[in-house]
Structure 1
């Protein structure tokens, strides 16, 4: 069973971030936040934690609404204000470019579906600046990919081949085109034809997604929006499997706010069936459980019993919850520990072997990052030879424990 979670037992800095990790505060939450800001707080620790968790704008929003300027150190408040201003400018640039791009795609008769940040901040978040995003993600049908690419090029976008050459981005390797950047604007666009890369073997029903999509508008342009069940399932998968369990608070905020927004529309039975078809039920249940424990989601509690997969190990909830909280204090770390979480959730021997292979032999670009070498260095070949032995020494006992005892146990 998962260990009992007690909010009051957390460090004050963690409680501060969790209280602010939402769009709106209830009267009780507002009072709790006011009391918490009067406690001795390591504000520098809270600030660095908010940065790592991706919730600086929400922290600033609630502190400013609370009128905490007299309590929060001036340097911390100034830093938060600066980051908020940067996000506002970034959002303005992205919205302007999204308007241009969506207009061009509409003129070319290309149906388009915004994904992740762009879609959420227009439909879920009342203030777009509360939901920063690094790029613009768009889903188009496979037969329209080249038309969408031509539209990008006509608007002045250039392919970013930092990680792979343009020709590498094809269905055998990727689920989107080469990223495109607009020189001088710091805007990146990814055009997707699927929701997940082929390496994760996620049987998402893309044609069904288009069939169920809802007509809408974004920046005054016609778009298609994910049906609520598809949106929530995609967000939980993105927070777990697709991010290799680098799950941070901002992922859970998206899940919680989407659930609250569509509380009266979500068909939980339909969602459970779709999750089973996508082989994503364990990820859906796990992320909803963790989000409920950390951010309080009474909207999901009645449905959780029906969503729970057969044989689900409750200790995974504790492991992921602790991992999310630890992200506030961890420097960016090696992905292999995240592969362990994916390995624990893999259900077949084939899935487990794929996870191990990806951990031992990542892409050349990732190897260059891990070993601080240029991606063209010949020395990388030697590191590919020694890496399996390095990982065996460092994580072998954890993999053995997961394989033989079938219980989550992480370093």
Structure 2
């Protein structure tokens, strides 16, 4: 059962519905609210800037002034932060245009400008941009010219281009809140069975004016699928929930969960905004082609659990993906636990294990839990291979053998590169450490010699 604070957070988000349901918020306030817990919950789910405006709209005396004051400060900080991000994006978009580099905005600022009533409502950690892979070197040089520094310096760029799908560039790295640009050349890891057609996304993309700067955005169908995939990538529901209808709101809202309520809310607002133009038949076909039926189904199912959204009833009924394999559905909850579930291990060892498995390695951007995805990538289901290559019979058998050989070779190369560059980074770090200690020793010796004289 949801706590009062969890119910209040959902009820506040529901105020954006038409007509708003202010009575639900009133009932939650009357039930008694632990304001410290609500603020922690809102911060985890990136809802606090929005809470400022929604509480102001209510003008209810039961909301403490201290809470209003804190929310005012958070709102103003996020407003200034988003304006700074927007200014940087506007400058970058102009430069991309001058160099004839196609640039596509992913999520973030596009969603903040289009689906939310106030751009300050959506916190953003970075600017997500997609460029074509052949334009990466020029885009890299452009960001460097604008004062950005690539975080990935432990290995050559070609290593990251081979094993990953984006690079992070940081501006003002010593400031309190640096500006980060995540430059993508693809939309998924290479070692997933699913296949998001990045070139097709480019072909269907639309031009959009950002502060009078032309940029590309996904069309609505691609954007909806991508947002659903992004949510599930963090929740992992499609990996281990065999009965998709068993997903509970408590799991989504738990502070142990990797997903954010804000992400679900922006999908709901996008659906409301585009419900007359959204082509669900195209979405169903594309989900099958990309192999993301389970990811989209789980996200929409969760959306319905949170907001009771009638908009998702038809797609949830139409999307009928195969459940995850039994081994995966056992290993994921065993290693990570289901957030918000009763009786789960919450001891120090269990939390430490989850932290290790889900932590992203700074050099490789790899999480240990992804080894479970690699197993399915090397030995995919027959259905996924048939979907990828569109053949049957003996030709499908040939394609399957070719796919297994290719995946095994790729993973072997990647693993070898990870070990090589990992060891090189360790040696480099140890060498620098020795040099620093040697310099410190020389400095101390010079000080001692000076004092003796």
- TM-score, length-scaled by structure 1: 0.74
**Is residue 346 of structure 2 the alignment partner of residue 334 of structure 1?**
no
TM-superposed deviation, 1:201:
4.5
Task: Specify the SS of the correspondent of 1:21.
Answer: helix
| Aligned-partner Cα distance in 2 for 1:101–1:131 | 21
Q: Which residue of 2 aligns with 1:24?
A: 16
Preserved CA contact (<8 Å) 2:293 2:321: yes
**Is residue 264 of structure 2 the alignment partner of residue 252 of structure 1?**
yes
Preserved CA contact (<8 Å) 1:166 1:178: no
Q: Which moved more, 1:208-217 or 1:31-40?
A: 31-40
Q: 2:77 aligns with which of 81, 86, 92?
A: 86
Q: 2:161 aligns with which of 160, 171, 175?
A: 171
TM-superposed deviation, 1:123:
2.1
Preserved CA contact (<8 Å) 1:169 1:176: no
1:335-367: CA deviations, max 9, x gaps? 6489889969x9788369x9xx9xxxxx89xx9
Preserved CA contact (<8 Å) 2:15 2:22: no
Task: Specify the SS of the correspondent of 1:190.
Answer: strand
Q: Which moved more, 1:197-206 or 1:166-175?
A: 166-175
Q: Which residue of 2 aligns with 1:57?
A: 49
| Aligned-partner Cα distance in 2 for 1:26–1:12 | 23
TM-superposed deviation, 1:187:
0.7
Q: Residues 28 and 59 of structure 1: is their aligned pair in 2 closer, same or farther, counting only changes over 3 Å?
A: same
Preserved CA contact (<8 Å) 1:213 1:224: yes
Q: Which residue of 2 aligns with 1:301?
A: 313
Alignment of 1:9-408 (within 5 A): 9-21=1-13, 24-27=16-19, 29-68=21-60, 70-161=61-152, 164-165=154-155, 167=157, 170-183=160-173, 184=175, 186-241=178-233, 244=236, 246-310=258-322, 323=339, 334=355, 336=357, 350=379
- TM-score, length-scaled by structure 2: 0.67
| Aligned-partner Cα distance in 1 for 2:46–2:260 | 7
Task: Specify the SS of the correspondent of 2:355.
Answer: coil
1:239-298: CA deviations, max 9, x gaps? 112565622212212222222222112111111111111111101001100011102221
Q: Residues 177 and 339 of structure 1: is their aligned pair in 2 closer, same or farther, counting only changes over 3 Å?
A: closer
- In the alignment of these two chains, the number of paired residues is 350
Task: Specify the SS of the correspondent of 2:163.
Answer: coil
| Aligned-partner Cα distance in 2 for 1:46–1:148 | 42
| Aligned-partner Cα distance in 1 for 2:132–2:378 | 33
| Aligned-partner Cα distance in 1 for 2:140–2:201 | 21
Q: Residues 347 and 161 of structure 1: is their aligned pair in 2 closer, same or farther, counting only changes over 3 Å?
A: closer
Which has more radius of gyration? Answer: 2
Q: Which moved more, 1:203-212 or 1:175-184?
A: 175-184
| Aligned-partner Cα distance in 2 for 1:41–1:225 | 41
| Aligned-partner Cα distance in 1 for 2:36–2:77 | 20
| Aligned-partner Cα distance in 1 for 2:295–2:317 | 15
TM-superposed deviation, 1:198:
2.0
| Aligned-partner Cα distance in 2 for 1:205–1:142 | 13
Task: Specify the SS of the correspondent of 1:215.
Answer: strand
Q: Residues 215 and 303 of structure 1: is their aligned pair in 2 closer, same or farther, counting only changes over 3 Å?
A: same
Task: Specify the SS of the correspondent of 1:309.
Answer: coil
| CA RMSD after TM alignment | 3.8
Unmatched segments (≥5 aa) in structure 1: 1-8, 358-362, 368-372, 379-411
